[in-house]
Structure formats: C-alpha cells, structure tokens
Amino acid sequence: MTSTSAKNNGLSAALVSNLQDVLSKRKGANEEKVVSDGSAAEEAPSTSDSVDVSAAAAEEEIDDSRPIVLVTNGDGIDSPGLVSLVEALVREGLYNVHVCAPQTDKSASAHSMTPGETIAASSVNIKGATAFEVSGTPVDCISLGLSGALFAWSKPVLVISGINQGSSCGHQMFYSGAVSGAREALISGVPSLSISLNWKKDESKESDFKDAVGVCVPLINATIRDIEKGVFPKDCSLNIEIPTSPSSNKGFKITKQSTWRQSPSWQGVSANRHPGAGNFMSNQQSLGAQLAQLGRDASAAGAARRFTTQKKSIVEIESVGVAGKTDSRVKKHFRLEFVAKEEEHTDGDLDIKALEDGFVSVTPLSILPKLDSETQAAASEWISKALNSDQ
C-alpha cells in the first residue's frame, strides 16, 4: 500500500499521485522496467591514475538526447550501494550517467568541505558511465561536479546520493554524508534524492543493494519524468529510506523527519592499538593516490616533530586510566562508534517508524528556514526580552 497523506510534508498532490502510480506499476507484471535479481553485475569500478580534468571535460562526449544524472555517495566510490545503483542506471539506457564520489569512506562527514587544500579527481572505469573519484567529502564532490570545472555539461537534471549503507533517518541526517551530498545539490538549484538502506549487522547481505535498486529505480524514473514536466517540487530534496528486506517492503510511505539518532560511543584504546596512517590506505587506491598519501604522512610527521621540539614532552597513557599530576602533556587515544538506540516509536508518519514497519520512507527535506508559528513566536519573545534586559 502507499500512503496518500502529504500533509505538512511539502509534496505536491501531483507527486503523491505519481508515487502511487510508480508503486502500483512496480507490483504489476512487466509494467515497469526494474533490476532483475539474477542480472549479471558489470565490471566493478577500478581506480586509474589522475588525469587532467580540464582535458577530460573538453573531450567528454555528451548525448544531448538523454538527461544527465550525477551520482555521489558517502561510503566511497567502491561501495556496493553506489556500484549497484550506477550499474542499474546504465542498464536502463535512459540517462547519461556521471559519477563524482569520494575516493574513500566519508560516512558521517556531514556537510563538510575542504577549502584551502588541493583536491585530486582521478578517472575511474565504470562501464557505461563517466566517473571520477575525489579526495574529498561528498559535498566537495557535488560542488566540484556542478562547478563546470570537471564535466563539460553545465547542470544535470538530477543528483542522486547513495545508496548509503545504514539508515539516515531522523537526526542522523545531520551526520550523513549521503544526505549532505543531496543537500548541496539542492543549495545549487539542482533537484536531488538521497537513498539509504537500513543495513543491519549479521542480517543484511550485499545482494540487498541490488534489491534496493529494484525498489528505487522506478521512483528515480518518475522523479526525472516530473522534473522535465516541471511538476516536481523545486524547494525540497527527497530522502528515501529502504527497509532491511527491500524485496518484501510494504510500499512507499510519505513521512516526516523524526528525532531518532544513534548514540555516539567513545571507547578508550591503548596507544599500541592506535591505527597508523598506513592501515587506512585502501588496496583499491591508485599508485598516484598512495604516493600522495605517503607525502601527506611525511609532511604530517615532520610537522609533528617540529611541534614537539617547541612544546613539553608528551606522555602517552592508557585512555581508561586517570592522568596524574605531571609537567608533561598527556595523550590519550579514543575510537568513536555509533550505537543504535532502542526506542519506542508510535507515530506512523515518522521516517524511522515507517522504516521499522517495513515501508519505504520518503521524506521531503528543505533548505528553507521554516519554523512553526509557535516556535517562531516563542523565539521572538525571548530575543526581545533578552535585548531589552541589557538596556
């Protein structure tokens, strides 16, 4: 079933109707082209050396008869969610597919950018798509992709960020690199979707991403169709949350952002367990990227040596212990993990509740500064009192 209520969600009646049409057609036999569970996977993307991006943009051939779609994510360009989505869009044959995604995992990077540093964009071989991996955040990727400096075209019809491994419901949206990539597109005036799969450890498997693609591709097609018709809402991005078992979902449900979040858990670790920079270097990185990383490591090590010669000596102690009185500076090591909170959710219109109930949650997100009237009035009254009290 599909929820028909769009109250307080910012979605037009036309788009709600289209969502209903998409779901009914998806369930009908051969009425929508979706990804088959048994379809053969294309060659996985592999990294190549950096290229002159201005030359790549100039030589890029664009088929003007097909809409341009730009894909990014927060998990990194080699992640199964992005690979499965791009392969499916290429197989559809309806779009010019371009990819500009982080070189490594940038989950929980939020809306961070990398000003003042050189960002490398390296071409990647993804069959049927034009792809670059970027040594930056998802927001860097979208900002660069839309700037005109990397690709020959001026603007895509749609930006898709995902498929993210793990829910981005509720307050997790503020941490999510995938949602932030879509938000950056909206800030730049380009319609966008962010897509996440409610991945659960010891339960989910990589093939679930292909099932998730089968769920969301018809919605992507409907979105692009309505963008071209001029009926897609211009002031919001859609965050799509796919349940843990995508193939047995109960349908699309239009939802509101909840206040759910995962709890940050900081664990103290001993100094000898603190991972060195070399452990973070992926085997998938290109030789050029590895050499660049080694250069950055060497520079960081030199800076650290210079710093320690000017400061008091640093004593490393077990993070679980208590530092005693000392004239030396103390260093501890910690690792951050997010732990899911067990909560009781009762409002079926909230994203997390719909997701837990097996629905595909579709939540409109806006960048417009909207406050409900009660909050606006209370804030205005407080500001007025605070200013007057200082006079």
Give the per-residue SS3 of 310-324: HCCCEEECCCCCCCC
Mean pLDDT taken over the chain: 77
Q: Are 84 and 97 in contact (CB under 8 A)?
A: no
208-229 helix and 13-27 helix, angle to the nearest 10 degrees: 140
- Are the CB atoms for 269 and 318 separated by under 8 Å? no
Tell me if 127 sits within 8 A of 90, measured CB to CB.
yes
Architecture in CATH for domain 68-262+356-366: 3-Layer(aba) Sandwich (3.40)
Provide the pLDDT for residue 271: 66
Strand (E) or helix (H) holding 13: helix 13-27
Tell me: the pLDDT tens digits for 352-382?
A: 999 999 999 999 988 877 766 777 788 778 8
Spell out the residues 6+ positions from residue 117 whose beta carbon is closer than 8 angstroms to its own: none
pLDDT for residue 29: 40
Question: What pLDDT does residue 149 have?
Answer: 93
Q: How many CB atoms lie within 10 A of CB 343?
A: 13
Residue 1's pLDDT is what?
45
List the one residue out of 108, 104, 113, 98 whose CA is nearest residue 135.
104
pLDDT of residue 15: 62
> Which pair of tokens denotes residue 50?
């950096």
How do residues 46-93 score in pLDDT, each as one tens digit?
444 444 444 444 345 556 689 999 999 999 999 999 999 999 999 999
Q: What is the pLDDT along the chain (391 residues), one digit of tens a residue?
A: 444 444 444 455 666 666 666 556 555 444 444 333 444 444 444 444 444 444 444 345 556 689 999 999 999 999 999 999 999 999 999 999 999 999 988 877 778 788 888 999 999 999 999 999 999 999 999 999 999 999 988 899 999 999 999 888 888 778 888 999 999 999 999 999 999 999 888 899 999 999 999 999 999 999 999 999 998 987 788 999 999 999 999 999 999 888 877 777 788 887 665 454 444 444 444 445 555 555 555 555 555 544 444 445 666 666 655 556 666 788 888 887 777 666 666 677 899 999 999 999 999 988 877 766 777 788 778 878 877 875 5
Give the C-alpha separation, 345 to 348, whole Å.
8
Say if CB 82 and CB 75 are below 8 A apart. Answer: yes
Please tell me the distance from the alpha carbon of residue 38 to that of residue 83, in angstroms, as a whole number. 16
- Indicate the DSSP class of residue 5: -
Q: In the prediction, which pLDDT does 140 show?
A: 94
Q: Which residue has the tokens 């730049």?
A: 188
Domain spans, the chain = 68-262+356-366
pLDDT for 382: 80
CA distances from 2 to 26, 224, 332, 390 (A): 12, 20, 51, 54
Identify whether the C-beta of residue 375 lies closer than 8 Å to the C-beta of residue 254.
Answer: no
